[in-house]
Amino acid sequence: MSDIWWMILRRLALGVLTLFVVTLLIFGAIQLLPGDPAQAILGQAATPETLAALRTELGLDLPAWQRYLNWISGVLHGDFGVSLANKRPISELIAGRLANTLFLALYAAVIAVPLSLVLGVLAALWRGSWFDRAINVLTLSSISFPEFFVAYILIFWLAQSGLFPSISNIPPGAPLAEKLYRTFLPALTLTLVVTAHMMRMTRAAIINLLASPYIEMARLKGMGPTRVIVHHALPNALAPIINVVALNLAYLITGVVVVEVVFVYPGLGQLMVDSVAKRDIPVVQAAALIFAAAYILLNLAADVLSTLSNPRLVNKR
């Protein structure tokens, strides 16, 4: 087996170890929350006998290590437990919400990735021009603003005028066109935030390669700037570009919490915030674990893809 595959296997093993450590951190952080979940569920008027019975039912009378093993064993079998708020299986609650979050992230990615690559290539092609300066100013401005501020600005400009709804509620069985229309503002908010990072990385990677000897040789042969960038610089800049795209895709999935809350979008982030308000600890644990697993998985994908797209590493034995 070549060195590159050993490198990929080591990174995959490190990802599994990271996920294990994250489960410990999530469980430990939940245990450190103040208050008694049984008391919060039953209220102040609950008798000690009722509290003791509920703690036994929830497994709160067991040692922490045993509760962790029970939880992680259930997760490995696809059982996240039962919601304390409505007594429904958490997997049922999460399934639809996770699908909505993935739909929103995919919607934003379909807009953001091609847009950022095109803008990055054009900014590198016309480096120092008014277009390059304008794009840099716009991207720096979008990076500087937090997501909720961008969301409220879009609501003020586009929702107040009646072009798009300010609340992105999706009726059951809604056709794709209606879902795209109702989720346009949250998708646009995420697009404005992540496009800046991907565009600037694409521009920097291509400009860094333009000083390479093989680029100078291509220019001396009479190739035009567009052909030099698209056919020679861009393929060799794929490693950093793939890395930043995958990292921003991870952000699209894990960073939607604020956007979903602003637009009241029925996604996993909104469910997590509602569960925190209700002290529904099992749902909070499950949502945090899913977000962490998605982030680690996409980081691993970025690592592996950027390694495989590097010809110097692929051809190394």
Encode pLDDT of 227-275 as tens digits. Answer: 777 777 777 777 777 778 877 888 888 778 889 999 989 999 899 988 8
| Per-residue model confidence (pLDDT) at position 187 | 93
CB atoms within 10 A of CB 6: 10
Is the confidence at residue 21, as pLDDT, over 90?
yes
Residue 123 in any domain: the answer is yes
- The CA-based angle 246-272-169, given to 5 degrees, is 85
CATH number at residue 171: 1.10.3720.10
Whether 6 maps to a domain, the answer reads no
Same structural domain, 124 and 23: no
pLDDT for 205 beyond 60: yes
Question: Per residue in 218-230, pLDDT tens?
Answer: 777 777 777 777 7
Report the distance separating Cα 234 and Cα 6, nearest Å.
27
Judge whether 102 lies within some domain: yes
Residue 210 lies in a domain: yes
Q: How far apart are CA 140 and CA 176, in angstroms?
A: 33
Q: In the listed set 76, 108, 127, which residue is the last one of a domain according to the structure?
A: 76
Q: How far apart are CA 102 and CA 99, in angstroms?
A: 5
**Which residue is it, tokens 């979940």?**
37
Alpha helices, H only, the chain: 3-31, 37-42, 48-58, 64-76, 90-125, 130-144, 147-154, 176-182, 184-209, 213-220, 225-228, 234-236, 238-254, 257-262, 268-278, 281-308, 311-314
Residue 138 within any structural domain of the chain: yes
Task: For residue 82, give the 3-state DSSP assignment.
Answer: strand
What pLDDT is attached to residue 230? Answer: 73
Kindly state the average pLDDT of the residues 172-199.
Answer: 88
Mean pLDDT in the chain?
83
d(CA 273, CA 101): 14
pLDDT score, position 107: 93
What's phi and psi for 316, nearest 5 deg? Answer: -80, 135
Does the pLDDT at position 317 exceed 50?
no
pLDDT at 315: 54
Q: Binning pLDDT at 50, 70 and 90, where does residue 2 land?
A: low
Cα–Cα dist 281/30, whole Å: 7
Residues 6+ apart with CB under 8 A from 68: 23, 24, 27
Of the residues 76, 106, 132, the one at which a domain ends: 76
Q: Which amino acid is at 51?
A: L
Answer with the residue of higher pLDDT: 23 or 45.
23
Percent of the chain with pLDDT over 90: 16
pTM: 0.84
| One domain for residues 163 and 197 | yes
Quote the number of domains for the chain: 2
Q: What are phi and psi of 82, to 5 degrees?
A: -120, 140
Q: Domain span at residue 50?
A: 12-76
Three-class SS of residue 32? coil
- Considering the domain architecture, whether residues 195 and 294 belong to the same structural domain is answered as yes
- Structural domain ending residue among the three candidates 21, 44, 76: 76
Length of the chain counted residue by residue = 317
> 292 is written with which tokens?
């962490």
**Considering the domain boundaries, does residue 82 fall inside one?**
no
Q: What average pLDDT score do residues 33-42 get? A: 72
Residue 67 within any structural domain of the chain: yes
- 21 and 123 part of one domain: no
pLDDT of residue 290 exceeding 60: yes
Rounded to a whole number of angstroms, the CA Rg of the chain reads 24
Mean pLDDT (whole number) for 133-160: 86
pLDDT tens by residue, 61-117: 788 888 899 889 988 888 888 888 788 889 988 988 999 999 999 999 999 989 988
Looking at the fold, whether 66 and 132 belong to one and the same domain comes out as: no
pLDDT at residue 110 in the model: 92
User: Does some domain include residue 1?
Assistant: no
Q: What is the pLDDT of residue 248?
A: 82
Residue 208: CB atoms within 10 A of its CB come to 14
* Claim to verify: residue 20 and residue 141 sit in the same structural domain: no
More confident residue, 308 or 81: 81
Q: Are residues 126 and 161 in the same domain?
A: yes
Q: Are residues 284 and 209 in the same domain?
A: yes
Q: Say which range, 38-52, 75-89, 118-132, has the weakest mean pLDDT.
A: 38-52
